[in-house]
Amino acid sequence: MLAAPILIFLFAPGFVDEGGKYDLATSMLRLTFPYIFFISLTALAGSILNTYGRFGVPAFTPVFMKSLPDRFCAVWLAPHMEEPVMALAWGVFLSGVVQLLFQFPFLRRLHLLPGHVGAARMRGCAR
């Protein structure tokens, strides 16, 4: 995320004077910002499942936000990092990925995941 330094400057201008905080905040923003992409796709997948009457999966998905990745990273990853707080940023990133991946098998069962369509299966492409 190229605009991370600018965003940190706009939203936390006091960090600019303290180089360590500014660099750390920039690194954390770069790591956590993709969460918005993953959670948006998770919401889309959940709404698709809801239209097919599968309400349990989207309702259970947020459990992964505060249970598995965050705690795993805080307990196991933080002691091994130079900046332990970065483990929480990794936890946010991983929780977005896990929430999206959790819904994939349920979408696949409904045949709603796009797959590879070989030329042999496409009528207009066969020779």
Global pTM reads: 0.82
- Amino acid 75: pLDDT: 87
Contact 100, 38 (CB under 8 A): yes
Tokens at 35, concatenated: 């969460």
CB of 1 closer than 8 Å to CB of 29: yes
pLDDT in tens, 45-91: 999 999 999 999 999 998 877 776 777 888 888 899 999 999 989 99
d(CA 69, CA 76): 10
Using CA atoms, how far apart are residues 77 and 82, in angstroms rounded to an integer? 10
Encode pLDDT of 2-40 as tens digits. 899 999 999 999 999 987 999 999 999 999 999 999 999
